Amino acid sequence: MLDLVTLGETCAALVAKSGGPLRHTVEFERRIGGAESTVAAGVARLGHRAGWISRLGADELGAFILGVMRSENVDVKHVMMVEGEQTGVFLRENRSDGRSNVFYYRSTSAFTSFSPDDLDEGYIGSARFLHLGGITPGLSSSCLATVQRAMEIAKARDVKITFDLNYRVKVWPPEDARAALESLMTNADHVLAGREDLSKLTGISDQDAQLDYLSGLGISNIVLKWGSDGTIWAGPEGVLRVPSVTVTHPVDRFGVGDAFAAGYVGGLIQGKNGPDAVDLGNRVAGWSLQLPGNIESLPTRKELEGAQKTSELTRR
């Protein structure tokens, strides 16, 4: 039995080694970039059994991605390698003010053809948790249908669903995304959402208003991330604020939201309550911020064991 199954596209990521416009960049670091695969790797590093469902081109970049995931002890038996189709790619530009711009080349990637018929019901049903995100359903109509079907399978098999909003304007505009994402969030057992993603999707920027919006969708467990201002958890026990972990000199913000999700889901797998799972998510994210890369920067359970637990809960 698996602790977690994730579903989503992973691209080859070419990250500029220097700052400034991409047109002037000469050297890149090759990494892999995928929200759901990062969560699977993060949960595996915490000592749990994770599987990843995906579709890659049978090309060199696909082989690179598959090799990385295997090395992270993630089950990849349901990753399809498709002849004649390409693996998605994106390039990341680093600006002097700390911002990053991402340029996607994935609109015709192998994953965009993923369909509900490609899902193995028994595999999803073998897990305790199914983790999904808001990027995958925006890639194509068949990807949206696949995520919806995966949720149906999970519910029928009593598999708990975690959903990370992870909204990307470059993947689909808010007028196309909002109704679909609201439906998906409503059907999840746990929803993770960052303030910037929610603001871009809904136009709502006030913290209380964002929490009211999510509560209005009928979500049982809400995780509202507000960066250095901490994380709000709202569930059956009430509403609690969990302070973030202070990182004085962050090295790389790439994938930090996925690191948080890995910690949160890992906490749920360990049987922690919502606020304690949020605290673990904050600690995993804080660790990740101090190192370059997304998967490369994820901590193991052993590495976290000696870290001082600094978060305390404040009732709101």
The domain that contains 72 carries what CATH number?
Answer: 3.40.1190.20
Alpha carbons 43 and 46: distance in angstroms, whole number: 5
Check whether 195 has a pLDDT greater than 60.
yes
Rounded CA-CA distance 40/266 in Å is 10
Question: Is 118 part of any domain?
Answer: yes
Each residue's pLDDT tens digit, 10-69:
999 999 988 888 899 999 999 999 999 999 999 999 999 999 999 999 999 999 999 999
Residues with active-site annotation: 258
DSSP, collapsed to helix, strand or coil, labels residue 109 as coil
pLDDT number for residue 307: 66
**How far apart are alpha carbons 106 and 49 in whole angstroms?**
29
Quick check: is 276 in a domain? yes
Question: Residues 264-292: what's their mean pLDDT?
Answer: 91
Alpha-carbon distance of 138 to 168, in angstroms, equals 9
pLDDT the model gives residue 311 = 45
Residue with tokens 């709101």: 316
Q: Residue 34 falls within a domain, yes or no? A: yes
Pure H helices in 117-255: 121-125, 141-156, 174-186, 195-202, 207-216
Q: Which residues constitute the domain of residue 99?
A: 2-296
Could you read off the pLDDT of 94-135 as tens digits, one per residue? 876 667 788 999 999 999 999 999 999 999 999 999 999 999
Token pair, residue 142, equals: 């068949």
Tabulate helix, strand, coil % of the chain (nearest 5): 40, 25, 35
Domain membership flag for residue 110: yes
Tokens of 30: 């090759």
Amino acid identity, residue 79? V
Least Cα distance to 295 among 81, 23, 64 occurs for 64
pLDDT for the residue numbered 267: 97
Q: State residue 288's pLDDT score.
A: 75
User: pLDDT at residue 313 above 60?
Assistant: no
The pairing of strands 221-225 and 127-133 is unpaired
Paired with 239 in beta bridges are: 234
Strand partners, 312: none
Domain contains 303: no
* Structural domain count, the chain: 1
312 within a domain of the structure (yes/no): no
Q: What are phi and psi of 108, to 5 degrees?
A: -120, 30
Say if pTM beats, i.e. exceeds, 0.85: yes
The reply to whether 24 falls in a domain is yes
Query: Is 309 within the bounds of a domain?
Result: no
